[in-house]
Structure 1
Amino acid sequence: MVESKLDSLISYFSNKDANNLSEKDKLLLLKTLKLPKNELLLRLYEKLKFISTIERELYLKKSTKEQIDLMLSKSIPIDFRRLHIIIYLLVKNYSEFIKNVCAFLRDLSFEQKKEILSSILFDEKEIKVLALYLKDDSDFIRALIEKNKITPETFKILSQSQEPESLFFLSNLNVLLRENPELIDLLLTNPFTPDESVVKLKYLKYEIEELERLKEEDLKEKEENEKDEIKEKDESLKVQELPESFERELEEKVDENLYAKVLRMSVPEKIKLALKGNKSARNILIKDANKQVSLSVLKNPRITEDEIDFITKNKVTPDHVLREIARNSNWVRNYQIVRNLAFNPKTPIDIGLHLLSRLYVKDLENLSKSREVSSVIKSQAYRLFKLKQKK
């Protein structure tokens, strides 16, 4: 059918002005052109300004490395209104330049990316190629979402992103996730998925599983009115709190997969994860033997005081981590964190002694009787306890 349409167009173009052809049709025909049979049509495209000289050279694979480098460095003037055609031809015919093309795209504005990706030229095949190199570009993902061009297969590639903002956008694709629940697990096991998205995805996963259970029950109970009943139950299904058993089972599964992933990482990869990863990743990396890795966790902008409270309370936390926490003026404003540091046997003695003066009398008394801290800390705690008791 396409061949006959092309043949008729060759005849049509040879005798008439084809400027009335829509832009969409031009692009679709460009996408279906196959040489050498349609070389005549390609020449007509050029004659009728459907395709420029640069684009023709790209289509015929006659462009040199130097020409492409100049094009991507913007040294050769490019009509940005036709950039979608140039990018498409580069992706289609010059796989060895894909990284360079993606670097060029990364520097474009969000609106420019959206304009390119909205073209009829870019279907799943081309987008999957770009996604491999642009999965950390949140503007690229946002543009795909706005143009409704993310398929389950493309999602699988994008879900490997190491950029929390990109993963946040993906986690909000409720329709796609509900239709393909297996995609939820890809985000849940990605240590870079932001904490707020992890919570949302757990609820979504639970709702989907509950709905499936309700469907099965309805099938057994009543075959006739199945759709109406399920719809009513779906609308009334509002999860206030995840059942503890579901939460525990899901977390164990996610943590097990996550721990295996972290073990395979190099030190630079662990540091990147420590700086950008979610709570599950931070819990694993804070105990890492490499100081650079564990200290990087404390620089993660998403870390909360509740996590610092847990870290300082944990008796397996490395001493260098406790020392770094004690140096942070914001964290040691929290009395519970100060108390945890004072009572933790791993806290360096000089840090512990410095914090004793801030403890309440009752805590000083308990610390002076502790069998876990050093004798130096105990004796000083007892001395301060007696002193404060008199006052």
Structure 2
Amino acid sequence: MTIYLDYNATTPALPEVADLVYRMMVDDFGNSSSRTHEFGIAAKQAVEFARTQVANVVQVDKAEVIFTSGATESNNIAILGLCEFAEANDKKHIITTKIEHKSVLEPIKHLQTQGFDVTYLNIGKDGQVNVNELKAALRDETCLVSIMHINNETGSIQPITEICQILSSHEAYLHVDAAQSFGKYPFDLDNQRIDFISASGHKLFAPKGIGALIMRRRGFIKPPLKPIYFGGGQEKGLRPGTLAVPLIAGFGLACELAQNNAQKWCEHVAGLKAKLMDSLRALEAEFNGNNTSPYVLNFSVPGVNSEAAMVMLKGIVAVSNGSACTSSSYSPSHVLSAMGLSQEQIDGSIRVSWSHQTTAVPSDEICRIIKELL
């Protein structure tokens, strides 16, 4: 039986989450906007309870949580929703990095076509942004800084606390794409200087199609986001459309379970990672990125092509060689390219990712198969 080791791409719903979603679809199926009967009232209560569960992960008020279809939509709202404010206040400068997810890079690229100026921060071979470069890039007209928390390909953890310190005396809004960390990696995101946080349910053992955008107030002032599409007025008019109550309830429960178990989960997966790294060192493997999440390992073995390795590993483990969102493209990883890795290292990169559900990684078997390709 193949062992699933591609949790950075997606996670299975936890059994208790799936049970709740099923019940909300079949029994408690009311529309949360229907307030004239008990079915709608119960649905509304379920949504608000889940909103509190999500808010608790990063210590915000539940009113600062907007439900979306996932981190991609959250990223788009956080970036494109500031456009009107930026234009009205002559603040059309954005800072981001070269290793962001496409759901950040592409909305920003769109704004470039609308006259926005964008600074793309360089990334070192360690996979991290240089905070001094960020500090030097800030201008009076900088409206937004968008930097992910944990990279989806390498797991490199960005210095969010230092970034917040640099921005402490600047008015620019800070957006953090936390798709790979929300709930699972309980550090940094409770920093009050972070204005927007994007989260995704299917990275956190909830169903696909649900996520959230956290919008922290500055004092009592809400961020000046505007909707990017219209109709219905749900979610304070920022994200219209009938709320997916079953998915929202499931996401809320997943957030609560993650918050209660995050430390234990991190300790478990760190042990899995250490064992695999020890085995790979015998093959002189190169580990791509430093200060990386315990949930993922990206590595290259000199002389081994990742596509060939994955073919050989089929039936044993399910791994990947990059982002699931761009897996249909044969272009080199923009993340590894931005880190300045050699073409051989990029072509040989393999991403292995796991979770608290992973009881063991067949490290010896993985290394035995890769060794056959040398």
- With normalisation by structure 1, the TM-score equals 0.19
Higher RCO, Cα 8 Å, sep 6+ = 2
Structure number with bigger Rg: 1
User: Larger % of helix: which?
Assistant: 1
Q: Which structure's residues are more often strand, by fraction?
A: 2
